[in-house]
Amino acid sequence: MTTHRKTPLNRRVFIKAAAATLVLGNLPFAAYAASAGAKMKIGLVGSGRVGSALGTTWAKAGHTVMFSSLDLEHDKQLAASIGHGARAGTSREAAAFGDVLVISVPYFALPQVGKDLGALLKGKIVIDTCNPFEQRDGEVGVWARKKGAGLASQELLPGARIVRAFNAIGSARMGTAYQNPGKVGMPIAGDDKQAIEIASGLIRDIGYEPVLVGGLVMGRHLQPREPLAGEHTPDEIRKIAATLK
Ligand SMILES: NC(=O)c1ccc[n+]([C@@H]2O[C@H](COP(=O)([O-])OP(=O)(O)OC[C@H]3O[C@@H](n4cnc5c(N)ncnc54)[C@H](OP(=O)(O)O)[C@@H]3O)[C@@H](O)[C@H]2O)c1
């Protein structure tokens, strides 16, 4: 057990997981979340195309979400348009609120997000959708492409338990997978087993089948214009991932 489990989030998760074990035998938390419908609080930093699509879809799936960005008024309106289960706040409020934090900002903004959130990131499960591009993100983009997006995000968000996901499918499709659950795979990368299980549960909740392609070092393959980009079945993802180093 890691020290992270001392946080209130992880006590809650631990209790849910224990309940899952009682009810469902030895199913992992992800299976419990999907089958027993465990509802979570999800903070979103970045409420643009990706953040708003994911937050809206998770709210519809019964989770409680808090949107944040640089524009609180926008986020209040977004939350009001969704209604029950959605609210808006600052990025620090979203980080404090969320059992899980989803960060969806342009990569050039990630250093600032890391500074703004500071100690709130310690032990926090973070789903990182962010992709570095040299042209859009300048120096940070160049550095992150070289280092690899997973390891770069880890350096910019110290203490966070990062799972890379939703990096290389279009935001317009993010709210549609539930119509055909389990058919579209979601390549993910991370180093923290419990964070991967919890993120996997949330990913399944909106219709994707998560496929772990490796640790954060493999996060560099989860971005546009890479072989894993676009929509693939879970089996196709496993086959492509087996060819990657
Ligand atoms: N678009 C896609 O289809 C897609 C798919 C997969 C992954 N991605 C990646 O996911 C990330 C987000 O993409 P997107 O298309 O959603 O971008 P977007 O539509 O431009 O939205 C970016 C969001 O980040 C917010 N933001 C910027 N700086 C911030 C800061 N310092 N603190 C808090 N919030 C901040 C923006 O707030 P304001 O609007 O208030 O400035 C906006 O809500 C990118 O890294 C992108 O490469 C995109």
pLDDT in tens, 173-187: 999 998 889 999 999
CA distances from 37 to 4, 20, 181 (A): 24, 11, 15
Residue 128 sits at φ, ψ, to 5 deg, of: -105, 110
The model's confidence at residue 38, banded by pLDDT at 50, 70 and 90, is confident
CA dihedral (157, 160, 164, 165) positive or negative: negative
CA nearest to 64, candidates 26, 17, 12, 24: 12
pLDDT in tens, 162-213: 999 999 999 999 999 988 899 999 999 999 999 999 999 999 999 999 999 9
Query: Which class for 32: exposed (0-12), middle (13-18), buried (19 or more C-beta within 10 A)?
Result: buried
Average pLDDT, whole number, for the chain?
88
pLDDT reported for residue 245: 84
Task: Tell me, in angstroms, the distance from the centre of ligand 1 to residue 68's CA.
Answer: 11
Report the nearest atom of ligand 1 relative to the CA of 105: 24
Report the predicted TM-score, pTM, of the whole model to 2 decimal places.
Answer: 0.88
Query: Tell me, which fold does domain 3-242 have in CATH?
Result: Rossmann fold (3.40.50)
Report the nearest atom of ligand 1 relative to the CA of 110: 31
CA pair distance 143, 136, nearest whole angstrom: 13
Report the nearest atom of ligand 1 relative to the CA of 172: 3
Task: Tell me, in angstroms, the distance from the centre of ligand 1 to residue 102's CA.
Answer: 11
Residue whose Cα lies nearest atom 7 of ligand 1: it is: 167
The model's confidence at residue 16, banded by pLDDT at 50, 70 and 90, is very low
Task: Tell me, in angstroms, the distance from the centre of ligand 1 to residue 36's CA.
Answer: 32
Residue whose Cα lies nearest atom 6 of ligand 1: it is: 167
Residue whose Cα lies nearest atom 19 of ligand 1: it is: 48
Residue whose Cα lies nearest atom 34 of ligand 1: it is: 69
The model's confidence at residue 37, banded by pLDDT at 50, 70 and 90, is low
Given a cut of 90, whether residue 31 has pLDDT beyond it is no
> Ligand 1: residues within 6 Å at CB?
45-51, 69-71, 91, 104-107, 109, 112-113, 129-131, 166-167, 170-171
